[in-house]
Amino acid sequence: MTYMMCMFMFGLVMGLVVVASNPSPYFGALGLVVVSGMGCGLLVGHGAPFLSLVLFLIYLGGMLVVFAYSAALAAEPYPETLGSRSVALHAGMYSLAVFLGGVFFWGGWYANFWATADESGEFSVFRGDMTGVAMMYSSGGWMLVVGAWVLLLTLFVVLELSRGLSRGALRAV
């Protein structure tokens, strides 16, 4: 289990490096899918399978639609790949920064992060993530509405930013 969790953490950090190195929207969306999958794997390993499923479905169902629209409107003739010089330089700098940050903060920070939500409640009737589901639907309903409005606003902002002056792939011929 420790090896799987380390692989999930490594994949999460490498996916974030891919997103931060700013390739074309196609590879950025691929990096976001990797980050979402690895983060959900970490949540499953820590004892929150329902929360992981909800996060994965909402993220892939909602936010990747925005990136599909922005990729369709960007329509670059020669998109920058992950192996191009500028993207590889940025990815190397970010990886070096992550490594130096890990070396700087190495002293015993990881000892308490391996406990799952189910290890602390030996006499509990419910799983650790079920109380969070009840709270999300009872007192967090207004936050779900605010989150939906923020996603809608993000959709319009991304579409306006990716439109540019040439109107992308939807320009009049």
pTM of the predicted protein model: 0.64
Per-residue pLDDT reduced to its tens digit, 21-36: 877 777 777 788 888 8
pLDDT in the model for residue 122: 60
Residue with token string 């009737």 = 125
Q: What is the DSSP string of 1-13?
A: -HHHHHHHHHHHH
Q: Which two tokens stand for residue 99?
A: 């490594």
pLDDT in the model for residue 93: 92
Q: What is the largest CA-CA distance in the chain?
A: 68
Angle made by CA atoms 25, 26, 30, in degrees to the nearest 5: 110
Between 25 and 121, where is the model more confident? 25
Residue 112, helix vs strand vs coil: coil
pLDDT band at 65 (very low <50, low <70, confident <90, very high): confident
Between 16 and 117, where is the model more confident? 16
Per DSSP, 168 falls in state G
Q: What is the mean pLDDT of residues 76-102?
A: 85
Per cent of the chain over pLDDT 70 is 68
pLDDT in the model for residue 25: 72
H-helix or E-strand containing 31? helix 25-45
